[in-house]
Chains A and B, each alone.
Chain A
Amino acid sequence: MANYSTNEFKGGLKVMLDGDPCSIIENELVKPGKGQAFNRVKLRNLMTGRVGERTFKSGDSLEGADVMELEMEYLYNDSEMWYFMKTDGSFEQYAVEKKALGDTEKWLKEQAPYTVTLWNDNAIQVSPPNFIELEVVETDPGLKGDTAQGGSKPATLSSGAVVRVPLFINEGEVLKIDTRSGEYVSRA
C-alpha cells in the first residue's frame, strides 16, 4: 500500500496505526507561532471501533490500509460464522465472525443489504442499512381503537431485537425500524 503524509490525511482515509486499520475522522494542523508544525489527528480504530487522538509531526507518514466497504446481502449462519454475499453479481461469499458482527447481529434479515468492511479481504465490520423492515414475533395484544395516542410497549422482532412500539401493534405485523437509534418508525 501507498504511504500517506499528514498533508493527505483527510476524513475517510484508511491508514495503519499500531498494526490496526484506522479511519481518519479529522486532521488539524497546529503550529506554535514559529517552529515545528504538528497534525492533531482523530481516528477510529476499525478493529475495536474506538475513537482516539494522536499527534504527528507535519510531514510524517502512515502506511495506507487495504480497507474496502462493500454492499453484501446476508445469507445465513451456522452459529459460528455468519455468511454474506457480494451484490455485484459475482456471488462471492464472505464468512464473518461474531466479533466483527457486533451489534449488527440483532438487525440481521436474510437478503437485506449490509455494508461489510474488508481489511486485506477479511470482514472486520458489518453495518446494517439505516432502515430495515422486520416482523413482530412477540408483543402484548394490540389495543383496539388506539391508533393515535401515545404510550408504548416492548416488541420482539424476527431478528431478535427488542424495540418500543405503539400500543396498537400486533404480532405478525411488519415494522420499519431505524437501526441507528433502534426506534420504531412506522408500519411497513
Chain B
Amino acid sequence: MKENWRPTADIETLRERARLLASVRRFFSAREVLEVETPVLGQGGSTDVHLVSLSTMARTDRGQRRLWLQTSPEFHMKRLLAAGSGPIFQLAKSFRDGEVGARHNIEFTMLEWYRPGCSLAEMIDETATLVATILPRFHGPVVHYRYRALFHTHLALDPFTTSLETLRRLAAEHGQMSAHTLADEGRDTCLDLLMSMVIEPHLGRNELSVVVDYPASQAALARRHQDADGEWVASRFELYLDGIELANGYDELTDAAEQRARFVEDNAERRHLGLGEVDMDERLLSALEHGMPESAGVALGIDRLIQLALGKARLEDVLTFSTPNC
C-alpha cells in the first residue's frame, strides 16, 4: 500500500490551526470588521511580473472563457470597498504557480483585510496587535526601518543612488552567481536579491520588524509619495518575524487611470520577458472609476504565522495536504 495518501500536518496540529484561525476571526469580529468570501476565480488576474498566475477554462454565459485563479483576494475585495462594504477581512485560498519550499506552497491561505479611511501607520499597529494575539509568546518591540537605512546598515550602499553596475556586482557576489547571470538585470532584481540574501535574515530577531519607504518602482498596487529626503517611495510596508516575511500593507491606489497604466506597463514588461500576458481586471478598473474610498489594506500569509506559532520547520507541516501531496 502506498503511503502518499497521508496528510502533511498531523491531526494535533490541525486542531491547533483551527484554534488559531478562530482567534483571528474573534480578533476582527471584536473590531467590527466584516468577514467576506469572494470568488477564487476572476475574469482578470494579477499582472505582477513576479507572480505566475494559474488559470483554467470555464463554460460561461459568454462561451468558453479563461478564468484566473487569484494570487490574492485583492481585486474582489476592492470591488466590495467601492460598493460601500466598510472594513472587511477574508481568509482566502490563493494560488502562485511554482512557489514551493519551506515557506511556500502553490495553494495557500491569505489573510487580507481593508479599512477605509485608515492610515498605513494605523494598519501597522493593528497588524502588530494581531501578531501578538496569535503569538502570545512574542513580546518583542515593533521596530521601524526605512528601506534605504537597511541598505546603509547591512551593505553600506544607497539603494537609490548606487550605480547599476555596482548593484549587479554586489548581487552576484552575495548570491554566489556568475556575474553574467545578472548582466541584463535591472536595479530592482539586484536590490531584491540583496534584500533576500543579506538583509532579511537579520529582520524580526526578537522584535517585529517593519520595513517602509520601498523604492517607487516596487509599489505594486500601493500609492507613491515623496519621502523626507525627496525620494519617490512606495506607500507600503512589509512585516518580518524570525527572518520571515509575514505581511505587507499598502496605502491603496484608488486612481483608476494610474491603476490601468500599471497593468499596461506590467503586461508590456511581460511581453518583453517572454512571459504570457494576463487579462487586466476591467471590473476592478470600473470599480475604481466609480470610486473606491481611500483605504489601507494588509495581506498576511496566515499559514506562515501558524507555522511560527507552532514552531514548525516547514509550511507543509501546518497544511492538511501540501500541493506536492494533493
Partner-B contacts on A (CB < 8 A): 7, 18, 27-38, 40, 52-60
In the bound assembly, the distance between CA atoms of A36 and B178 in angstroms comes to 18
In the bound assembly, the distance between CA atoms of A59 and B49 in angstroms comes to 13
Partner-A contacts on B (CB < 8 A): 48, 50, 98-104, 175-178, 181, 185, 188-189, 192-193, 195-197, 200, 218, 220, 238, 245, 248
Known: A28-B101, A56-B177, A58-B98. A34 touches B248 (CB 8 A): yes
Known: A28-B101, A55-B193. A35 touches B176 (CB 8 A): no
Nearest CB of B to A108, in Å: 36
Q: Chain B contacts of A58 at CB under 8 A?
A: 98
Nearest CB of A to B237, in Å: 9
Would you list 27 pairs from A and B whose C-beta atoms are within 8 A, ordered by A residue? A7-B98, A7-B100, A28-B102, A29-B99, A29-B101, A29-B103, A29-B104, A31-B104, A32-B192, A32-B245, A33-B238, A33-B245, A34-B50, A34-B218, A34-B220, A35-B50, A35-B195, A36-B50, A36-B192, A38-B192, A38-B193, A54-B176, A55-B175, A55-B177, A56-B181, A57-B181, A58-B98
Q: Chain A contacts of B175 at CB under 8 A?
A: 38, 40, 54-55
Nearest CB of A to B179, in Å: 12
Q: Chain B contacts of A30 at CB under 8 A?
A: 196-197, 200
Nearest CB of B to A148, in Å: 43
Determine if A32 and B181 form an interchain contact, defined as CB atoms under 8 angstroms apart.
no
Known: A37-B50, A37-B99, A57-B189. A31 touches B177 (CB 8 A): no
Chain B, Cβ-Cβ closest to A5: B98
Q: Chain B contacts of A27 at CB under 8 A?
A: 101
Q: Chain B contacts of A31 at CB under 8 A?
A: 50, 99, 104, 196, 245
Q: Chain B contacts of A53 at CB under 8 A?
A: 176
Chain B, Cβ-Cβ closest to A27: B101
Chain A, Cβ-Cβ closest to B211: A33
Known: A34-B50, A36-B189, A54-B176. A29 touches B100 (CB 8 A): yes
Chain B, Cβ-Cβ closest to A6: B98
Known: A33-B238, A35-B218, A37-B50. A59 touches B196 (CB 8 A): no
**Chain A CB within 10 A, most for which of B48, B175, B196, B238:** B196
Chain A, Cβ-Cβ closest to B182: A57
Determine if B189 and A52 form an interchain contact, defined as CB atoms under 8 angstroms apart.
no
Determine if B188 and A36 form an interchain contact, defined as CB atoms under 8 angstroms apart.
yes
Determine if A52 and B100 form an interchain contact, defined as CB atoms under 8 angstroms apart.
no
In the bound assembly, the distance between CA atoms of A79 and B102 in angstroms comes to 48
Q: Chain B contacts of A40 at CB under 8 A?
A: 175, 197
In the bound assembly, the distance between CA atoms of A28 and B196 in angstroms comes to 12
Contact of B98 among A28, A54, A55, A59 (CB under 8 A): A59
Nearest 4 A-B pairs (CB), nearest first?
Answer: A55-B175, A29-B101, A35-B192, A33-B238
In the bound assembly, the distance between CA atoms of A36 and B177 in angstroms comes to 15
Known pairs A32-B245, A35-B189; list 17 more (Cβ under 8 Å): A27-B101, A28-B102, A29-B101, A32-B192, A32-B238, A33-B248, A35-B50, A36-B50, A36-B192, A37-B50, A38-B175, A38-B193, A38-B197, A40-B197, A53-B176, A54-B176, A55-B175
Determine if B193 and A36 form an interchain contact, defined as CB atoms under 8 angstroms apart.
yes
In the bound assembly, the distance between CA atoms of A27 and B101 in angstroms comes to 8
